[in-house]
Amino acid sequence: MASKPPAPPGRVLRVSQLDALELDRMLEQLLWEQLGRCFQAFRPGLLVGWEPELRALLRLLLWRFTLYSSEATVGQALLNIRYRSSYNHGGRHVSLSRRQKLWFAALTVGGGWASERWRDIYRGGAAALFPRLKKAAGTALGLLGATQLLAYVVFLRTGTGLSLTERLLGLNAVQARPQGLRQVGFEYMNRELLWHGFAEFLLFVLPLVNAARLRFSPTAHGRAGGAKDPAEAATVCVACGEWPCLPHTAGGCAHVFCYHCLASRQAASADLACPRCGSPARRMLPLRVAVPERGRVEGE
């Protein structure tokens, strides 16, 4: 009894291929930033003149330890994707040949370096010495951009060949491992919805709560501050329970406040009340203390 041929790898969604490409770009940018931090103590602008070469070397290292060794980039490995070759194999997906890998490095790494270096040469004015070369290079870059755009449109239509390089080399993105049935759980989603709803509720309710009035209410501070002895009433702030700084009264009672305690709470709440007796505290009067005359005290 003949054995069944192995099932072909499943096709990869377009959005997964785009996500893998974006992850590769983010990784390259992260490594480039780390490389720049290694030279931040040196002379400023040290790497500017060699930026195309350093970027090409970084891409070459990434290619060597990702696609050359495992036939998948970092972004593709994270999304269970890898490259397979369908060039001259009757549509069957086989492993990449060494020639395809080398050509991939030449077109991506070398092509990126040539484009960046030509841009620097063009800005430097050296291309003005060779007007024909400048015109030919501009025409070639225009045709290359149009071809890449056409390849991207074909990718959106067919789902294969994200870049022009992949289409020329016959590289197709397939699933590295067959995907099983996914068991979808909604615990995480329910938790996120609950927390988001609770956060929105707090954002709506908290601006309506007068926190200063709650902190200054008689139930919050009536038992905490102030002295019970009438002789010591003028030496303790009924708001903070400390020695009153610039003592003032609220006008409705004889209890003493610090100037800052009373002024800040009156600015926060229009209908402020004394935390000790509950009388309205809408005014601010300096504390007046009667001092006996010296002669009367000596006569007594």
Q: Are residues 244 and 124 part of one domain? A: no
Q: Are residues 30 and 138 part of one domain? A: yes
Q: Are residues 223 and 124 part of one domain? A: no
Does residue 239 lie in a domain region?
yes
117 and 56 in contact (C-beta within 8 Å)? Answer: no
Q: Domain with 256 in it: what CATH number?
A: 3.30.40
Does residue 295 lie in a domain region?
no
Please state the rounded mean pLDDT for residues 199-224.
Answer: 70
Q: Are residues 243 and 162 part of one domain? A: no
Q: Are residues 239 and 134 part of one domain? A: no
Does residue 134 lie in a domain region?
yes
Does residue 260 lie in a domain region?
yes
Q: Are residues 74 and 23 part of one domain? A: yes
Q: Are residues 159 and 48 part of one domain? A: yes
User: What's residue 18's pLDDT?
Assistant: 94
Q: Are residues 74 and 219 part of one domain? A: no
| Span 54-95, pLDDT tens digits | 999 999 999 999 999 999 999 999 999 999 887 655 556 688
What predicted TM-score, i.e. pTM, was given to this entire model? 0.56
Please identify, among 120, 153, 175, the residue that sits at the C-terminal boundary of a domain: 175
Sign of the CA dihedral with 289 first, then 295, 297, and 300 last: negative
Selected residue with higher pLDDT from 98 and 299:
98
Give the range of the structural domain holding residue 60, as residue numbers without chain letter.
14-175
Q: Are residues 148 and 26 part of one domain? A: yes
Does residue 230 lie in a domain region?
yes
Does residue 299 lie in a domain region?
no
List CB contacts of 98: < 8 A, sequence separation 6 or more. none
Q: Are residues 249 and 165 part of one domain? A: no
The domain total for the chain is 2
| Span 35-55, pLDDT tens digits | 988 888 888 888 888 888 999
Q: Are residues 236 and 161 part of one domain? A: no
Does residue 190 lie in a domain region?
no
Please identify, among 175, 203, 233, the residue that sits at the C-terminal boundary of a domain: 175
User: What's residue 1's pLDDT?
Assistant: 42
Residue 151's pLDDT band (boundaries 50, 70, 90)?
very high
Please identify, among 175, 203, 224, the residue that sits at the C-terminal boundary of a domain: 175
Q: Are residues 215 and 171 part of one domain? A: no
Does residue 199 lie in a domain region?
no
User: What's residue 10's pLDDT?
Assistant: 66
